[in-house]
Amino acid sequence: MEATELIKSFCEAVGIGYEPDADGTCTFEADGLEISIINLPELDAVTLVGDLGEPPPERLEGLYKAMLEANHLFHGTAGATISLNSETGHFALCRPLLCKLMTAESFYKEVEGFLSTLETWTKLIANYREAAASPDHAAEMDFSSGLQGHFIPV
């Protein structure tokens, strides 16, 4: 299916207007989180992008370690990757999808799964920020318990 058709179908299914910007990106909010669907026509693909928020100001080693481990073979990201957006200084979750492999239904499920992963990581980062700010914070936090059961193995 073509990217524009996938995005339009998704927007119709969730009851939002399809209003892409000049480069074909469609942005919407779900459960208080902003998600952008970036149309990449030259690749016949779209990329789902979600903002995970700003890194805490200190004690990032444990958080970066958890993110790198989650990125490895998509163990804790359900096929997405976590990165640092140099323009905003925020963490981002990104999930590329090839349009030729998608139907309207499968695309909807991919966006739904992406939202679930985005929610989980947003909460983990927020919890880390709160813990890092507390005076009794341990040097390392164990993220493994927060990640288990939230992701679909790829």
Sign, CA dihedral 96-99-101-103, equals: positive
What is the pTM for the complete model shown? 0.84
Convert the pLDDT of each residue in 14-71 to its tens digit.
Answer: 999 888 888 889 999 998 999 999 999 999 999 999 999 988 877 788 889 999 999 9
More reliable by pLDDT, 63 or 138: 63
**pLDDT score of 1:** 87
Q: HSE of 73 in the Cβ direction (CA atoms, 13 Å)?
A: 3
Measured over the CA atoms of residue 53, residue 55, residue 96 and residue 41, the dihedral's sign is: positive
The number of domains in the chain is 1
Q: Classify residue 22: in a domain, yes or no.
A: yes
- For residue 154, tell me if it sits in a domain: no
CB 103 within 8 A of CB 7: no
pLDDT at 28: 92
Mean of the per-residue pLDDT values of the chain = 85
CATH number at residue 127: 3.30.1460.10
In a domain, 121, yes or no: yes
- Domain ranges, residue 14: 3-147
Asked whether 48 and 37 are in contact (CB, 8 A), the reply is yes
| Residue 24: predicted pLDDT | 84
pLDDT for 46 equals 96
Is 153 inside any structural domain? Answer: no
- Give pLDDT, residue 17: 87
Confidence of residue 146 (pLDDT cuts 50, 70, 90): very low
